[in-house]
Structure 1
């Protein structure tokens, strides 16, 4: 799909997904966490996958023809503690990757950790007067949470965040926008899409990749899997590189259960 085209309701196009699975021998299933497996909540520390999603991921992870991966903006250690089953986890938007029993970290991101820490510490002070504004230092990236910040002062948070990053980052850090968050990370050409591409590169050629995510940061992953694979956007019908959409994490569980009960059997043996 073109990034300027709204994704289509998945239930209206299930035949296309059946056909794509039937032409493949393996499935690579990559999943975002917040807003996808877990509902968005005001307190990020309280986020948890729905029981239905947790059970579906665990079941799919046992299927011999399925490879599962979590690809999240959360720190690797954080997201691994929140969902079990997959053998592959990508944290901090792909800057850290756990697979084959080891963890790799993007070398540039590692080099800029001290600068990121200085930015987060400064933002803690600068944004302290803003009600409900929270700064999260994830070692390789940082997040300014504004979901519970009054709408009238979110623009102040945005300006102050950019100002601090510009002053202390000295061109080595950048700010991006997500769903009521501002993400701070190293200025490197690496994102979720690159992490998914790296994971997919180790799969057999007959593998169909599926990526499910809900935010702007997931668009690079949609572009990676489309058009040969399947991108599914969660919530909203805004333009996306994903072909299909579902309404909520509850609907994600329906898709995962369908893959587990029907989709896996469609794969060529």
Structure 2
């Protein structure tokens, strides 16, 4: 068996309409999985200020009220954080899928639960070490930790990266790993689990003829794109970098356009 093809730049969404319509027409239902930051909410310098656009809030509410559609939010934020920023969906996954809320229950990956105390200690060390760096912020999400440097002066960014790598190597040992994102560094348990695994767990509860759609904007969404493509649809928000998603849109405003279409015209295509 040959190696899988390398990801290529996703095509603009408008070029994918025939395929999208055909995929939905062959389905009996739709599972829509949505990232939060950069997808439903614009990226902002202060993560605490991030909120979904009003049009995305309205579009998600329409999807939630549509019986043929199941809506899930899958975020790198802590579960409690993302749930309070957008109400309505029946399913939420936080910390890149390490936390999952559905059917009134919350499940936590057992390995992540075991390492929560280590993450807390690591975040405390990072806070002290990075305190002299202007506008650098360390976020303890209980199961993972994030170093935000979007607002850090460019000259200081290499220092943030170096200190973060050094501290995670020293205090995380072989049990924690560091991964990049959009002007962030995230640390969490060293295990093979991500948003794509959360999508697969959620999709397993849906009927077999369900079309799965995932919309996201960051490298942490790539495993979810791989989980849904090619039978479903992955939509990358942002530039035309190589991605496992097959379609792309420019911004959260375009996401609102697509979700609005899905909740009106798109659902009418279901067989």
The interval holding the TM-score normalised by the smaller chain is over 0.9
Aligned to 2:207: 204
Residue by residue over 1:4-47, the C-alpha shift from the partner in whole angstroms, topping out at 9 and shown as x without a partner, is 30000001221110010000000000000000000000000000
Shift of residue 3, structure 1, vs aligned partner:
4.7
Measure the CA separation in 2 of the matches of 1:156 and 1:115. Answer: 23
Stretches (4+) displaced over 6 A: none
Aligned to 1:213: 216
Measure the CA separation in 2 of the matches of 1:137 and 1:168. Answer: 15
Give the length in aligned residue pairs: 268
Residue aligned with 2:121, SS: helix
Is 1:168 equivalent to 2:160 in the alignment?
Answer: no
Measure the CA separation in 2 of the matches of 1:79 and 1:91. Answer: 7
- Correspondences of 1:1-269 after superposition (within 5 Å): 3-268=6-271
Shift of residue 265, structure 1, vs aligned partner:
0.5
Shift of residue 2, structure 1, vs aligned partner:
5.0
Residue by residue over 1:175-232, the C-alpha shift from the partner in whole angstroms, topping out at 9 and shown as x without a partner, is 0000000011000111000000000111111000000000000000000000000000
Residue by residue over 1:122-165, the C-alpha shift from the partner in whole angstroms, topping out at 9 and shown as x without a partner, is 01010111110000000000000010011122111111111111
Instruction: Output the TM-score relative to the length of structure 2.
Output: 0.97
Is the CA contact 1:96–1:105 (under 8 Å) kept in the aligned structure 2?
yes
- Kindly tell me: are residues 29 and 2 of structure 1, through their superposed partners in 2, closer, same or farther at Cα, counting changes over 3 Å? farther
Residue by residue over 1:102-136, the C-alpha shift from the partner in whole angstroms, topping out at 9 and shown as x without a partner, is 00000110110111111100010101111100000
Q: Which runs of 5+ in 1 are unaligned?
A: none
Farther off after superposition, 148-157 or 32-41:
148-157
Measure the CA separation in 1 of the matches of 2:259 and 2:7. Answer: 27
Q: Which runs of 5+ in 2 are unaligned?
A: none
Is the CA contact 1:2–1:240 (under 8 Å) kept in the aligned structure 2?
no
Is the CA contact 1:2–1:241 (under 8 Å) kept in the aligned structure 2?
no
Residue aligned with 2:44, SS: coil
When the two chains are superposed, the root-mean-square deviation of aligned CA atoms in Å is 0.9
